[in-house]
Amino acid sequence: MTVPQSPPRPLPLSPARPVTRTLILGLNFAPEPISTAPYTTRLASYLARHGHSVHVVTATPYFPAWARPTGWPRARYVTRTPAANLRVTHCPHYIPRRPTGLRRLVHQASFALTAAPVMIAQALRHPPDRVVVIAPALVSAPLGWLAARLAGAPAWLHLQDLELDAARATGLIGPAPLATRIERWVLRRFDRVSTISTQMCARVAAKGVAPHRIQELRNWAEPMPPPTTAQMTALRRALGITTPHVLLYSGALGRKQGLEAIPDLAHRLRHRRDLTLLICGDGPMRPMLEQAARDHPNLRVAPLQPRDRLGALLGLATVHLLPQIADAADLVLPSKLTNMLASGRPVLATAAPGTALAAEVAGCGVVVPPGDTTALVVELDLLLQDPDRRATLGSAGRRAARDRWHADTILARWHEELGRLTRRNAQYRASENASATTP
């Protein structure tokens, strides 16, 4: 369950006729700019470029603002073809403005409901060679499994986080024993279950999935050119940053990110006239953070920056801040970590020892206990007064992003493992057919 470190051999691109059909079901896809959407988008594009006919069934874009993009149809299916061999169907669904636990469940269930006719039609009219389900949302996983069975194809479930466990950790739901039993039943139905860290693989095994069906497939660091001084200067000016140091958090502003500590952190850092705490993102926690910014001049809240500014934004950071609530550090490995490390800046994270997040940050940054704002301030002060240490940690992070999160290596691994599962299923079906015709 490890990711190979050596770069893959190049694969032939776009044969005249697609060799296999891949049906992908996932809640998040482009044009959503962050979280799991860029990974599903890149995976689908990679498979399409390498000759596979790919159909993605996804939701109306909504994340991280929890709102439809301006001009997007309210209650219509939207189908587009962004590249050769790649077709994307966006299904209408309920988008809660304030995503409580119950509303999230209705939101995810509504997507499963509107995606059902598309998935079933694809399974029956254009049977795929494999079906890949990306979770979130696990609620729609049974639909993906059903489509695979109707098509006689293997079913692959990729877990970007352990939703049920994370919902408990953030207080969105209680113990929910029935939901736990349903989750275990769903996970065991799939021919392959993959996730993004060793610790998450262990949790999947503890839920009853056979070890030989479990695969570790990490997220990857998006390659980006180093920003120029002019780009960073322009962005500093646009964001109104005048201090030499920046403590940066960029990403979704949700409950599992542990952002409740930001106002207290800004208060405790008021003695640092040379530091700006910059939060770039959108989500349910943004109003609270904007109020805190009105009370603390050293705290700035800005929108998510467009992709062409991402390199400059990450380069602005003296230190990256990666908070996480105590019980979520083994349930989700934040996708933003890979690009933080690739930027060559140290990471200051909150995680318990032995968790997936702590293990990945080790040697590339500093980890303090979740909820310990005092420790955050102490460690940040130490980092800010030691540029050599920052440079050492940042260089180690850049190497880790290159060696452990090399995009081409991980995508080639996806390609290889999907092919292996498809061939195994074809051999099994051929054997069954031969047995059925033997007198």
> What's the pLDDT tens digit per position in 378-387?
999 999 999 9
Amino acid 168: pLDDT: 78
Query: Taking a C-beta distance cutoff of 8 angstroms, is the pair 410, 3 a contact?
Result: yes
Amino acid 403: pLDDT: 87
Q: Which residue has the higher pLDDT, 404 or 192?
A: 192
Cis geometry, peptide bond prior to residue 64 (ω within 30 degrees of 0): yes
Structure tokens at 54: 């790919």
Give 306's pLDDT tier (boundaries 50, 70, 90): confident
Residue-wise pLDDT tens digits, 75-84: 999 999 999 9
How confident is the model over 273-278, as a mean pLDDT? 96
Query: Taking a C-beta distance cutoff of 8 angstroms, is the pair 357, 351 a contact?
Result: yes
Amino acid 427: pLDDT: 78
Q: Please choose, from the candidates 336, 320, 337, 323, the residue with its C-alpha nearest in 3D space to the C-alpha of residue 369.
A: 323
How confident is the model over 113-120, as a mean pLDDT? 98
- Asked whether residue 345 carries a pLDDT value surpassing 80, the answer given is yes
The end-to-end CA distance of the chain, in Å, is 42
Amino acid 439: pLDDT: 57
21-220+406-437 is classed in which CATH architecture? 3-Layer(aba) Sandwich (3.40)
Residue-wise pLDDT tens digits, 182-227: 999 999 999 999 999 888 999 999 999 999 999 999 999 877 778 8
- Asked whether residue 377 carries a pLDDT value surpassing 90, the answer given is yes
- Cα 93 to chain center, whole Å? 21
Give 431's pLDDT tier (boundaries 50, 70, 90): low
pTM of the shown model: 0.85
How confident is the model over 270-281, as a mean pLDDT? 95
- Identity of residue 70: T
Buried b (16+ CB within 10 A) or exposed e, 183-207: beebbebbbbbbbbbbbbbebbbeb
Does 229-404 match 21-220+406-437 at the fold level?
yes
Question: What average pLDDT does the structure give for the chain?
Answer: 89
- Asked whether residue 119 carries a pLDDT value surpassing 80, the answer given is yes
CB atoms within 10 A of CB 297: 10
Region 229-404: CATH code: 3.40.50.2000
Amino acid 250: pLDDT: 93
Residue-wise pLDDT tens digits, 411-422: 999 999 999 999
Domain ranges of the chain: 21-220+406-437, 229-404
- Asked whether residue 434 carries a pLDDT value surpassing 70, the answer given is no
Structure tokens at 360: 């990945």
